[in-house]
Amino acid sequence: TQTTRPQRMLAAVQKNATRGDPRSVVKAIDQFCRQKEWAMNVGDEKGCILDSVVTEVNPATVLELGTYCGYSTVRIASLLPPDAKLITLEFNPHNAAIARQVIAWAGLGDKIQLVEGASGDWIPKMKEKFGIETFDLVFLDHWKDRYLPDTKLMEECGLLRKGSILLADNVISPGTPDYLEYIRNSPRYKSQYFRSHLEYTKAEDGLEKSVFLG
Ligand SMILES: CNc1ncnc2c1ncn2[C@@H]1O[C@H](/C=C/CNC(=O)c2cc(-c3ccc(F)cc3)cc(O)c2O)[C@H](F)[C@H]1O
Ligand SMILES: [Mg+2]
């Protein structure tokens, strides 16, 4: 029977990456996507920008919206300090099942909490379910028309503090026009665009980094 792309991506990790070595997992996925099949991971070029933001913020609490197969989850978690926690939300059960295995292969299971469910349902429960006060870093990479409503929801739920960083993928391709318009014009954020390319292609894309000013 036919396999899915996430299943083929996981097979590439299990074949080419070393257990317990997150960077080899990242490398195996990038190689798969360059040589075999394109997939919507943040990728190696934008991934370097992601790495530099994670390293600069050195977050104790991270929220990722949209796990997919866990590429950016592993990339972020591999750079976190010892007691840091990363919560990643994924509402497609098949994607979640693949991502759990990618995360396990990388040996990062104790740093990452993958929650199978929708951001809209889980953002309001972060405090009561996970004892999270606020997030130091949020990586937005789920449905592009949900970036803005979920950002407003995080504000309303008090999950952002003065200095919290939002990092949004795909603000050019596929694009998140309503989010960009809001975040760049709101007096509550200071934003910066990091120009790059759509993963594994020459098309333009970039990451928008925004600091919540409180
Ligand atoms: C809405 N709330 C959600 N809660 C939990 N998990 C969710 C939620 N919404 C989606 N998910 C989960 O998050 C993932 C969705 C990622 C969507 N990503 C993209 O579409 C995306 C698209 C391109 C792209 C660019 C050009 C082109 F020609 C074709 C594609 C590039 C990118 O880097 C992307 O990230 C996952 F699949 C979904 O189950
Ligand atoms: Mg993306």
pLDDT in the model for residue 1 = 82
**Annotation says 136 is catalytic:** no
**Annotation says 141 is catalytic:** yes
d(CA 143, ligand 1 centre) in Å: 5
**How far is residue 110 from each of residues 49, 85, 122, 197, measured CA to CA in Å?**
25, 9, 20, 32
d(CA 84, ligand 1 centre) in Å: 25
What is the per-residue pLDDT across 36-84, written as a single tens digit (0 to 9) for each? 999 999 999 999 999 999 999 999 999 999 999 999 999 999 999 999 9
Q: Decide: 94 and 70 in contact? Cβ < 8 Å.
A: no
Element of type H or E holding 137:
strand 137-140
Q: What is the ipTM score, two decimals?
A: 0.99
What is the per-residue pLDDT across 113-172, written as a single tens digit (0 to 9) for each? 999 999 999 999 999 999 999 999 999 999 999 999 999 999 999 999 999 999 999 999
**Annotation says 27 is catalytic:** no
Using CA of residue 161, residue 141, residue 45, residue 21, what is the dihedral sign?
positive
- Choice from 29, 91, 95, 153 to test ligand 1 binding pocket (greatest atom count within 8 A of CB): 91
pLDDT in the model for residue 66 = 99
